[in-house]
Amino acid sequence: MESALQSCLFMLMLNNLLMLGTTRLMWLIRLTAFQGILLAGMLLSLEHALLAGAVLLIKGALLPSLLWRTRKRLHSHQRMKPRLHVAVGVLAGMGGLVLSLWLEARLVNLPALFPPQLLPTALTTLFCGLILVVGRTTALSQVIGYLMAENGIFLLGMPLMTAGTMWFELALLLDVFVAVFVMGIAINHIGNTFESIDVGRFRSLRD
């Protein structure tokens, strides 16, 4: 089980950098789905089968399908023009990874709570999600960044999951699902009203 957890953490690290490096919304949604599958695999390796199934259903299937349908309805372009250069975003993500690894080495009592590499992976996922939010110009890609950041927070709470706290995590998953569902509807209405969902165009507004 420990080797399976470490493999999932390593693939999640690579997935984070790939999400920062892609400029195609289609691949960004696919990588989001893969991230949900990896989270479910980690929970399964920690013997949280019920929560793993919920994560696989919500984060690995329902949310990506909602994002996919929204993309098709908006007729969004395949390539996105990021506000932050792709190379700069990837380098920032790698810098967050290095900082997280340094922080893990500095915390003495950490091994008693977190399995190896879990804390740096969680912090890097959270940081990469924030980079997507501030570095991309379309509302749909920023929603994906929000989901990515929430996955990092979810990873931070993973070692604290016991029989009593599991239901809190399930409630949190449902809250996230409802929030993204509402954001998807909002983005759909924006797309039906305006020609573009590029948030950078708000700077061209005049009184």
Distance between CA 74 and CA 187 in Å, rounded?
Answer: 8
Contact (CB, 8 A) for 35 and 67: no
**Which token pair is 170?**
């399930």
Report pLDDT digits (tens) over 106-122: 876 666 677 888 989 99
Beta-carbon contacts of 105 under 8 Å, excluding residues fewer than 6 positions away, are none
Q: Answer with the residue of higher pLDDT: 125 or 190.
A: 125
The confidence score (pLDDT) of residue 99 equals 94
Q: Residue type for 69, please?
A: R
CA–centroid distance for 77 within its chain: 21
Q: Dmax over Cα atoms in the chain, in whole Å?
A: 60
Q: Residue type for 90, please?
A: V
Query: Which pairs from 87-93 meet CB under 8 Å and 24+ separation?
Result: 88/135, 89/20, 89/21, 89/131, 89/132, 89/135, 90/17, 90/20, 90/21, 92/20, 92/127, 92/131, 93/16, 93/17, 93/20, 93/124, 93/127, 93/128, 93/131
Range 170-199 average pLDDT: 64
Nearest alpha-carbon partner for 146 in 32, 51, 58: 32
The confidence score (pLDDT) of residue 23 equals 85
Q: Residue type for 158, please?
A: M
Report pLDDT digits (tens) over 123-134: 999 999 999 988
Whether 75 has a pLDDT exceeding 90, the answer reads no
The confidence score (pLDDT) of residue 197 equals 57
CA–centroid distance for 202 within its chain: 25
Find where tokens 């949190």 sit: 172
3-state secondary structure of 79: strand
pTM of the model: 0.83
Strand partners, 138: 198
